[in-house]
Amino acid sequence: MNTKLKVSEISKIYPGCIANDKVSLEFGSGKIYALLGENGAGKSTLVKILSGVVKPDEGEVFLNNESIKLNSPLDAKKNNIGMVFQHFNLFETLSVFENLSIDSDKKDEELRALVNDILKKYNFKIDLDIPVLNLSAGQKQKVEIIRCLIRNPKVLIMDEPTSVLTEQETDDLFISLKQFSKDGILIIYITHKLKEVLSLCDEVAVMRKGKVVSVSNTIDEKIESLANKMVGENLNTIKKKINNFKNSEEILKISNLNFKSDDPYETNLNNLNLSLKKGECLGIAGISGNGQNELFQILSGEIIIEGTSIMFRNKEIAKLNPRERREYLMAFSPEDRISQAAVPELKIYENVALNNFKSSNFFEKGLVNEKKIKEHSKKILSNFSVNTDNVELKSQFLSGGNLQKLIIGRELITSPELLVCFNPTWGLDVGAINYIHETLIQINEQGKSSILISTDNDELLKLSDRICVIYKGKLSKIMNADTVTAEKLGILMGGGSID
Amino acid sequence: MSFDLNFIGILIGAIMASSVPLILAASGELITERSGVLNLGVEGMMIIGAISGFALMVVTDNLFFAVVGSMLSGLIISLIFGLLTQSLLTNHVATGLALTIFGIGMSAMIGKNFVGIPGKEFPLLFVNLKESIPFLGPVFFGHSIILYFAFGLPFLTNYFLKKTKTGLIIRAVGDSPTSASNQGINVTLVRYSCILYGGAMCGLAGAYLSLIYTPQWIENMTGGRGWIALALVVFATWSPIKVLIGALIFGGITILQLHMQAVGLRIPVQLLSALPYIMTIIVLVVISRDSRKIKLNTPTSLGQIFYKEK
């Protein structure tokens, strides 16, 4: 059956921000539509309206030419609109089956049969009777998708579905989505990743600052053209000049690093050796979960291991905690901005103060020197073009990009000799990514070193001087970046070997 | 010193009776907490139940009205908590503490005129069986209907939470109110219902004290049992059956240590009095040390305020 979905003149205004400004779009079944835009462009608001979570101030939604009211998520369900949110709406402590049965009117046996059919049809492999918290992100997403499929959806909306997925899981997802589309489900795919739009979608609508700025067929688009529409300005693509550091001074040397964890969810590290020259950027590639987390925590001092030597600027630092390492001019930007790098409930200046070191004088005789911290914070905000000058703002109100700028700024303002960052542009929009990349190149130019642990190969190839791959807790040979290609990385990341 | 079998039976019966208020209050609070609401007002709701039950008994001379009235009054006072935390979005902890203080003060005020009035005899079931069967008789028979209800309640609660749709919805709300709301579940309604149910059970627990256990009104007669019930829920890691075990251990050691004090063992009285608390915690911690199970049973959103995006 053909499905037509139309949104007409939708507006939603939040205090101080027009999230949607007279948005009109049309969709028809059999195609996959991309809704593309930077963070804060209004995509999420639009899909929240379509799924009944948020009510629009103005405008109407038509399904098959009939105006429908979407006052609650129930209304969306009744109209066969299914939605998979970026942040999963699952109950972690309940079993997969309980998660599925909670909003189903079917009897348990019927539902189980139906779910098993879906699992078989789309080749999903999920144990229905284990708690959701034991599932991987990709599996959780499949549970969300199954929850929609149970209701025979006409429309399936996916909100930034790949931000939590590995590359393999992303490939699987795309195969499923194409299959759904063939089965007549209209798919709306929200993303800020340009490559995905080109490889998956048939049509693309670009949103900027709450407005739809372009609708086109993806065949007619290229990465650059979409990026420019999305950001609204011509982006200069940056590429670092790769340097040769043969004769430079060695700044960091780790030999025979072994780490064995009791936690089955952690990865053991085997015999890692690496060294870093002054001014150099070492990229560490790999599919997430291959030991990056553990390596980062060992570098930052969150995990301290016995019997390994970590020499930093000719000093042994293996036994120092993160704060003491900062005194020696190391700096760290963890992967998880919200729970590791910053405390979202704290104000900006309070988050800055958390990164306290001896020379900062943030605290005097046990008292907080608020004035000093605020001045320091203001400097970070302006030097690293964070989109606010209000240091009293709670950090949770910053967008991902601005929060990341704040974190990187907080680390860099002390002019560290080494910055270790882990997926610094994860989930950010093009503008913010560009800014972070420029900043990272800049510190190398100033003769400071960096270690970039990332799951984004483009980013690694763009920024690194030398690259290696971590696979199941082991490091590959460290290669000069100009000899490395995305293909080579791909082989190594999958556990293969080259030459 | 010799114990005959029948005496042990009577002792077990007494232990069971003393754990009833804990089981009732903790089972009620368990449902409330499973929906993600932390109501620290258990002690206050219990004592309100105790005084209203007793007062209604005196005024109406009808035990049925007294029991039902105590549950209603527990429900009404928990409604205040519900209004504050669910509709006005106040902090659960502070509101619960206030509720307890309010309940204790209010009950003392109402209770002034009821001090010294003798209670009424509460009908006990199967009294002749209690006397005719040695050992098992005093264990299983000759109790009030509320005791039988209390001992069935943890099993009912367990079945309700694990096997029924409503139970599933309550657990879902306790896990993630936002997800539940996005699934079209009325989180506020679910939480209100669980708060009111918890209130009613606490009211009943209070009535058990003032109508059956020690049939009279004494100011502050709950004596911290509400706090013990709260602790039981947490240490039993939100499992109704473990609440029952915990309540029995607590009741058991309370009674036993009283006997030990009476026979004059040379152990400091303070240590004996502390024994029930220490032993209950140790046993519950030992039987619930499976961290995976703890994670699955703990209501993730416990104590968090939920408001719906508009």
Residues A46 and A164 in one domain: yes
Within 8 A of B298 by CB-CB distance, chain A residues are 93
Residues A272 and A172 in one domain: no
Q: What is the pTM of this model?
A: 0.73
Within 8 A of A51 by CB-CB distance, chain B residues are 182
Q: Which position has the token pair 């009791």?
A: A262
Residues A269 and A217 in one domain: no
What CATH code is carried by the domain that includes residue A95?
3.40.50.300
What's the mean per-residue pLDDT of chain A? 87
What is the number of domains present in chain A? 2
Distance from CA of B33 to the nearest CA of A (A): 15
Q: Which of residues 95-154 of B touch A (CB under 8 A)?
A: none
User: Residue A460: which of A248, A275, A286 has the closest Cα?
Assistant: A286
Got the DSSP string for B41-90?
THHHHHHHHHHHHHHHHHHH--HHHHHHHHHHHHHHHHHHHHIIIIIS--
Nearest CA in chain A to B297: A93
Q: Last residue of some domain: A177, A202, A231? A: A231
B184 shares contact with chain A (CB less than 8 Å):
yes
- pLDDT tens for A401-459 read 888 999 999 988 888 999 999 999 887 877 888 889 999 999 999 999 999 999 888 88
A55 shares contact with chain B (CB less than 8 Å):
yes
Residues A226 and A273 in one domain: no
Partnered with residue A131 across adjacent β-strands are A95
Contact across the interface for B179 and A91, Cβ inside 8 Å:
yes
**A242 within domain boundaries:** no
A88 shares contact with chain B (CB less than 8 Å):
yes
Strands A203-208 and A211-217: what pairing? antiparallel
Residue among A73, A77, A102 whose CB faces B172 most closely: A102
* ipTM entry: 0.83
A77 shares contact with chain B (CB less than 8 Å):
yes
pLDDT > 90 fraction of chain A, expressed in percent and rounded: 39
Phi, psi dihedrals of residue B70, rounded to the nearest 5°: -65, -40
Q: Last residue of some domain: A231, A265, A286? A: A231
Contact across the interface for A93 and B179, Cβ inside 8 Å:
no
A74 shares contact with chain B (CB less than 8 Å):
yes
Residue among A51, A55, A92 whose CB faces B310 most closely: A55
Residues A462 and A340 in one domain: yes
**A138 within domain boundaries:** yes
Contact across the interface for B168 and A74, Cβ inside 8 Å:
no
Residue among B180, B183, B296 whose CB faces A131 most closely: B296
Measured CA to CA, the distance from residue B248 to residue A212 in angstroms comes to 66
- For position A235, what pLDDT does the model report? 54
Residue among B172, B182, B185 whose CB faces A94 most closely: B172
- Answer for the pair A276, A249: CB distance below 8 angstroms, yes or no: no
- pLDDT tens for A41-96 read 888 889 889 988 888 999 999 999 999 999 888 889 889 999 898 788 899 999 99
Tokens of A22: 């007279």
- Answer for the pair B60, B211: CB distance below 8 angstroms, yes or no: no
Residue A414, domain extent:
250-493
B296 shares contact with chain A (CB less than 8 Å):
yes
Residues A23 and A114 in one domain: yes
A91 shares contact with chain B (CB less than 8 Å):
yes
- For position A309, what pLDDT does the model report? 87
- For position B194, what pLDDT does the model report? 98
Helix A137-149, helix A108-121: angle, nearest 10:
120
- For position B1, what pLDDT does the model report? 43
**A61 within domain boundaries:** yes
Measured CA to CA, the distance from residue B88 to residue B84 in angstroms comes to 5
Residues A453 and A345 in one domain: yes
**A240 within domain boundaries:** no
Q: Last residue of some domain: A202, A231, A260? A: A231
Cα B141 to its chain centre, rounded Å, is: 22
Within 8 A of A88 by CB-CB distance, chain B residues are 179
Exposed e or buried b for every residue in A135-148, given b needs 16+ CB within 10 A? beebbbbbbbbbbb
DSSP state of A131: B
User: Residue A332: which of A286, A378, A301, A376 has the closest Cα?
Assistant: A301
**A326 within domain boundaries:** yes
- pLDDT tens for A149-183 read 998 999 999 988 887 777 788 888 999 999 999 99
- Answer for the pair A33, A204: CB distance below 8 angstroms, yes or no: yes
pLDDT surpasses 90 at A493 = no
Contact across the interface for A102 and B183, Cβ inside 8 Å:
yes
Which residue of A50, A54, A79, A93 to mutate against B (max B Cβ within 10 Å)? A93
**A354 within domain boundaries:** yes
The total number of residues shown for chain B amounts to: 310
- pLDDT tens for A235-260 read 555 667 777 777 788 999 998 889 98
Which residue of A45, A91, A132, A144 to mutate against B (max B Cβ within 10 Å)? A91
- Answer for the pair A369, A362: CB distance below 8 angstroms, yes or no: yes
Residues A108 and A204 in one domain: yes
- Answer for the pair B49, B203: CB distance below 8 angstroms, yes or no: yes
Measured CA to CA, the distance from residue A420 to residue A99 in angstroms comes to 39
Contact across the interface for B181 and A77, Cβ inside 8 Å:
no
Q: For residue B144, which amino acid is it?
A: S
Contact across the interface for B171 and A73, Cβ inside 8 Å:
no
Distance from CA of B241 to the nearest CA of A (A): 19
**A366 within domain boundaries:** yes
Taking residues A267-278, what's their average pLDDT? 90
The runs of H, that is alpha helices, within A103-166 are: 108-121, 137-149
Contact across the interface for A91 and B309, Cβ inside 8 Å:
no
Local structure of A144: helix, strand or coil: helix
Residues A164 and A271 in one domain: no
Distances (CA, A) of A283 to A424, A451, A468, A492: 12, 6, 6, 14
How many Cα atoms within 13 Å fall on the side-chain side of residue A46?
Answer: 35
Residues A224 and A320 in one domain: no
pLDDT tens series, chain B, 310 aa: 445 788 888 889 999 999 999 999 999 999 999 999 999 999 999 999 999 999 999 999 999 999 999 999 999 999 999 999 999 999 999 999 999 999 999 999 999 999 989 888 888 888 888 888 888 888 889 899 999 999 999 999 999 999 999 999 999 999 999 989 888 899 999 999 999 999 999 999 999 999 999 999 999 999 899 999 999 998 889 999 999 999 999 999 988 888 888 887 788 888 888 888 888 888 888 877 877 788 888 898 998 888 876 5
Contact across the interface for A93 and B295, Cβ inside 8 Å:
yes
Nearest CA in chain B to A100: B183
Residues A210 and A258 in one domain: no
**A118 within domain boundaries:** yes
Residues A35 and A113 in one domain: yes
- For position A458, what pLDDT does the model report? 83
Exposed e or buried b for every residue in B130-166, given b needs 16+ CB within 10 A? beebeeebbbbbbbbebbeebbebbeebbebbeeeee
Cα A92 to its chain centre, rounded Å, is: 21
- For position A237, what pLDDT does the model report? 59
Contact across the interface for B179 and A88, Cβ inside 8 Å:
yes
Which residue of A98, A102, A134, A263 to mutate against B (max B Cβ within 10 Å)? A102
Measured CA to CA, the distance from residue A238 to residue A220 in angstroms comes to 24
Nearest CA in chain A to B172: A91
The structural domains of chain B, ordered by start, are 5-297 (1.10.3470)
